[in-house]
Structure 1
Amino acid sequence: MQFVPTNSQLLERSMSMIARAGIARFGNVILMRKISMNPAVQQAKYAVRGAILERAMEIEKDLLNPETASKWPFEKIVRCNIGNPQALGQRAPKFSRHVLSLLMNPELIGKNLYSQEAEERAQAYLAQVSGNSIGAYSDSKGIKLVREEVADFIYKRDGFECDPDNIYITDGASTAIKRVVSLLMTGDSSDALFLPFPQYPLYSALVSLSGGVAAPYYLTEGDWSINSHELEINYQAAIDQGKKPRAFVFLNPGNPSGATMNRQAIETIIRFCQDKKLPLLADEVYQDNIYHGPSFISARKVVHELGAHDLPLFSFHSISKGFTGECGLRGGYMEVTNLDNEFKAQISKLANMSLCSNVPGQIAVGLMVNPPSSEIEAHNYKTQRDEILASLKRRSEIVADTLNALPGISCPRAQGALYVFPSIQVPKRAVLAAKQKNIAPDLFYCIRMLEATGLVTVPGSGFGQREGTFHFRSSFLPSESDIHDVMKRLETFHLTFLDEFADEQELQQLHSQSSPTAENESLSFNLVNDTPTSASARA
């Protein structure tokens, strides 16, 4: 007798086949099979493009819809969450764009559309790439001419010879940092990077991806200086917690702090790394963004002056910052110093696996480190550079001075970089409201700011901060024609926020407190503080 399956058996068989294919169907609804994921990726966090930006994108959809736009008290979202200069109106460097235009369209060479120097530079780069086309792969470490230009730039900056073979051109500094971290972390869950808190979240995210942990060293609240005594305390705390520091990271100028380091601070870090036998990662992508305080000095220069030939050093730079602001072109470089050949071979292997970084970005790196030299082009280049940097300085001062005039906010003037990182006193009722939503108080503050003003900022909790302190990071990249309006929006929001959440006693205290003068606020990283200080004294 032939077996005839029932309808339910047929359905069960069909469901089984569909499930094996990775989907399940219930009526007209298809449910995708859940795929297991790497928990390290799920645990990694990058606050710069986190919950605030996601909420901003939701609001932006409302603003684009005539039926929902009126629900918000502003007409546009202003992204102050990230250092993306050209997105907020900064002009691209003209000479670089002229050369890139010729490289994209070589048939334009000889048409006298751009200067003779632009044509000569374009021809020099074309001669270095396969098939005379920037659409071809380059050497995995980067175009030889570009690496030579970077090496010459470093030599002129530091006064010490630089070998082009120690240069790696990458898709922005982030790619180089990721490669180095992936090599330093061994897969042991106790492996740690010694990170400045507050720190750029890329580092803590990469540590998570590598299965390790962050070991914070806290910068002094207020001036964001290095405290050599607390370096030792923080290091010992990491050891006591079972962590194994694998490398030391510092950012100069700082992100998010906007602080710059003088030679004494850098020397202290180098001596510390030598003593602990820690490789040093020097994130120097904001080296051209200096407004107040000490001039930029590279870690490499100090390493050579000290004769610290036993210290492995990784130095990073990028076209995304400075005055070029070429974030979308994705160009950067890493120079390695005092590194053994085996480690360099592994870096090269990782570069080979990606074939090469994008060629236009590589050439933009060459154009950043080797600007035009002919009289007219050099003059135009310098004029554009100086105008942009002077404007950034003015905007940084406007932002800091406006914030310092508000009750409950203290904001050092940025010595460098593209951000301010003000400390905010969050009223107790707001802290409770945040707790009820299971979010950090400064995240609560930033969400409320976004919904009231359209300004996208980043809560300090995303960068790491001392317990009981609250901050947010904001760029000062909105144009000079917009920056006053932006700050007026923020001022109105902050006062309204205090009226809503602060009780009468808190309001009186906040209004009675005076901020430090602007002249006393730009002291960050000028000196190494060797005096032990309690956390409460700095908070």
Structure 2
Amino acid sequence: MSSRLMKLKDVLGRSKTSSPLAFAGVSRPFAESRRSFIAARRHVANGRNLRTMSDSSCEKCLTLDNMNPHIKVMEYAVRGPLVIRAGEIEKELQNGAQKPFNEVIKANIGDCHAVGQKPITFIRQVLALVAYPELLKDDKFPEDVKERARIVLGGCRGGSVGSYTDSPGIEVIRKQVAHYITERDGVPSNWEDIILSAGASDGIKSVLKLLKARVGGQKAGIMIPIPQYPLYSASIAEFNLHAIGYYLNEEKNWSLELDELERSLKEAKSHCNPRGIVIINPGNPTGQVLTRENIEGIIKFACKEKLFLFADEVYQHNIYAPNSAFHSFKKVMSEMGPPYSNMELASFMSCSKGYMGECGLRGGYSEIVNLDPQVKAMLMKSISAMLCPTVLGQATMYCVVNPPKPGEPSYEQFMEEKCGVLDSLKSRAKMVEETFNSIPGFSCQVVQGAMYAFPQMKLPPKALEAAKEKKMDPSTLYAFELLESTGICIVPGAGFGQKPGTYHFRTTILPQPEKLKAMLDMFKQFHVKFVEKYS
């Protein structure tokens, strides 16, 4: 092994680097640095020796030792080492490798169309017309579709979606988003508070980085739920903020307890200056839906502690449990009156989830209320550096907030497709919950909303020992063995955070019903063999 590669291995292998989830007592899953080492080792295997590369070219100005350290510690479990291995297995199958399965089932990510969900006809028809306006002459397209397309094109410079838009998005679409929110909440929304984005993720990061400032000599702290969506831990690490984890109560269907908020905030104050709190409702990866009473308590807590509210509401259409309902933070705050109605809030929505599932088109919006006007000006300046969000994504969001109305030609087909998707997801949510609860050693809370389940599993002591020997979290060991044995790709609980001594994983409920049933049957068989192996 070359001295340069030995040095690289030493850098990547020394002491367990602090993980964005270390605050939650979570052992680091396979890190990005490990992936870098594996990639480097492959270079050697392919005969591209690192020493030779160094000797035959100029010295690299950017190395692991001098690059941004915050990028090195950030992790994004949803697209981590398991997904890389799943991709390798897919190629092995394509090349004729013999395995105990014939396909990889990617239950690791909420990518609806990738696992068989059909696009909504109305949305795709509007997109077709805005992308190729000549089709406006075609009688095959309903008039309400043409009307939406003309409105979007009318908002584009030169009448083309190939032109830049204003940085916060096309004005007519921002106004339509504000109208949608006003109708949803019964509370006025100002279109100038709406910022369109390339998916909700870009919107979240744009607001989150505003809080990156040392106050009183301490870095800013952001409260995030545990388990949490890895976008938050990754972005917090990237921006050099401090993650303040608060545990959701699994025994009470992943409820959010105010006593736990108080505990986590109190403990964090010696390490950082708490400035914001993230709420994911409906929950990801846990699938819970907050009650209005719970939301009121969170708002009072945030007001008392002067915390900026981040309301991640991208699953607002995905409500399945009979006694659950979506309540937006904006609506509840407004109805509570001052001082709560004057609090700073950023809420987020996406066209990637819901009944639409248009992940690849990257459409989303933020509504940012009660922001200091000077700060808002700085936010607008910041997003202007990115020019504008994708225009086809903006057009998709326009379809979401301005769907066909009763009496319009597309209405019946639209409602049939929309209800068909949501009804099917509701039945799949029940199927997943019931199946996991039928497996000895598993417990799975009710999937009230969103697109995921986060079951807990009891693992044999020898499995815990094997994981320790391999320097990985037991949930990661379980997930890798599941992938190699069945082709099912999930995300280990370590990637989301979990209480020490508990082991989980996240799976989507998205595979179509027949494939989901087959997947769950394979899960049962695998778990029995796994327990036998380590008994």
TM-score range, shorter chain: 0.7 to 0.9
Which residue matches 1:138?
165
> What TM-score do you get using the length of structure 2 for normalisation?
0.87
Give CA-to-partner distance per residue, 1:28-86, whole Å, 9 cap, x none: 976973633111001001111112111111211211112xx10x211111110000000
**Could you tell me which amino acid in structure 1 is paired with residue 481 of structure 2?**
R
Runs of 4 or more consecutive aligned structure 1 residues displaced over 4 Å after TM superposition: 23-32
SS in 2 for 1:309: helix
Task: Name 2:373's counterpart in structure 1.
Answer: 341
- 1:375 to partner: Cα distance: 3.5
Aligned to 1:310: 342
Tell me how many residue pairs correspond in the alignment.
476
Question: Match for residue 270 of structure 1?
Answer: 299
1:322 maps to 354
Give the C-alpha shift of residue 95 in structure 1. 0.5
Structure 2 partner of 1:516: none
Q: Distance in 1 between matches of 2:141 and 2:350?
A: 26
Superposed, 1:54-203 pairs within 5 Å as: 54-66=84-96, 69-70=97-98, 72-186=99-213, 190-203=219-232
- Residue 350 of structure 1 pairs with residue 382 of structure 2: yes
Aligned equivalent of 1:410:
443
Q: For residues 450-487 of structure 1, what are the alpha-carbon distances to aligned partners after superposition, in whole Å with 9 as ceiling and x for unaligned?
A: 11111110111111111111100000111012111111
RMSD: 1.6
Q: What is the identity percentage for the equivalent residue pairs of Structure 1 and Structure 2?
A: 41
Cα gap change, 1:107 to 1:441, in 2 (>3 Å): same
3-state SS of 2:341 partner: coil
Rounded to whole Å, the distance in 1 between the matches of 2:55 and 2:380 is 51
Matched residue type, 2:124: R
TM-score between the two structures when normalised by the length of structure 1: 0.86
Among 82, 85, 93, the alignment partner of 1:52 is 82
**SS of the counterpart of 1:273?**
helix
Indicate conservation of the 8 Å contact 1:24/1:31, yes or no: no
Aligned pairs for 1:212-223 (under 5 A) are: 212-222=241-251, 223=253
218-227 or 430-439, which deviates more:
218-227
Distance 1:26 1:62 in 2: 29
Partners of 1:27 and 1:484 in 2: CA distance: 52
Per the alignment, do residues 220 and 132 of structure 1 end up closer, same or farther by CA in structure 2, a change over 3 Å counting? same
The answer as to 2:424 corresponding to 1:394 is no
Task: Give 3-state SS (helix, strand or coil) of 1:333's partner.
Answer: strand
Look up the equivalent residue of 1:349 and give its one-letter code: K
Decide whether the 8 Å contact of 2:155 with 2:172 is kept in 1: yes
- Work out the CA distance in 2 between the residues paired with 1:186 and 1:426: 42
Aligned counterparts, 1:209-288, within 5 A: 209-222=238-251, 223-240=253-270, 242-288=271-317
Paired with 1:411 and 1:257, the residues of 2 have a C-alpha distance of 10
Q: Which has the larger radius of gyration?
A: 1
5+ residue gaps, structure 2: 1-49
Which residue of 2 is the match for residue 207 of structure 1?
A: 236
d(CA) in 1 for partners of 2:447, 2:510: 13
Is the CA contact 1:406–1:491 (under 8 Å) kept in the aligned structure 2? yes
Which piece of structure 1 moves more, 466-475 or 372-381? 372-381
Distance in 2 (alpha carbons) for counterparts of 1:466 and 1:121? 48
Q: CA deviation at 1:180?
A: 0.9
| Aligned residues of 1:80 and 1:457 also touching (Cα < 8 A) | yes
Instruction: Indicate conservation of the 8 Å contact 2:144/2:408, yes or no.
Output: no
Q: Could you say what secondary structure the match of 1:375 adopts?
A: coil
| Equivalent residue number for residue 9 of structure 2 | none
1:515 equivalent in structure 2: none
Aligned to 1:492: 525
TM-fit CA distance, 1:140: 0.7
Any conservation in 2 of the 1:24–1:30 contact (CA below 8 Å)? no
| Aligned-partner SS, 1:339 | coil
